[in-house]
Amino acid sequence: MELAQVRLLVGDFRDCYRFYRDVLGLRPQFEAEDGPYAKFTPDGGGAGVALQDRAQMARVLERLAAEPAGHRSLVVLRVDDLDGYCAEVAARGGVLVSGPAPMTDRMRVAHLADPAGNVVELQEWLALRE
């Protein structure tokens, strides 16, 4: 078994698409700004982050609730230079809600939220576990 993606259900697909593409700088597999689906793959490869239009998925599932209140997910992206990447994200319109700051003796993190309210954690690993 292989993890293919983490898919976020979003109400404003276009805003979220632009956030992941333009603010975070992730590469979409194909251009799909109007949705209802898009997958973004980090430069290093591996499992991606996907967006799914919430209303479209509600029609498929026939029981999906309206927009949830509060944070329901956390997307974690590892970067090599946290301060530099945070500066790039801020220049592209991203607003950090915390950090950059140490989380442990092995990691520094910063957080921001996408337009749907999903929390994005940016991690810089200072030391790997042995």
Residue 81: inside a domain, yes or no?
yes
The pLDDT tens digits for 86-125 are 999 999 999 999 999 998 888 899 999 899 888 898 999 9
Residue 130: inside a domain, yes or no?
no
Give the domain extent around 31.
5-125
Query: Could you tell me the maximum CA-CA distance found in the chain, to the nearest angstrom?
Result: 47
The rounded distance, in Å, linking the Cα atoms of 71 and 121 is: 13
The pLDDT tens digits for 50-68 are 998 888 877 777 666 666 6
Q: What is the pLDDT of residue 67?
A: 65
Count of domains observed in the chain: 1
Tell me the mean pLDDT in the region 15-30: 94
The one-letter amino acid code at 45 reads G
How far is residue 35 CA from its own chain's centroid? 16
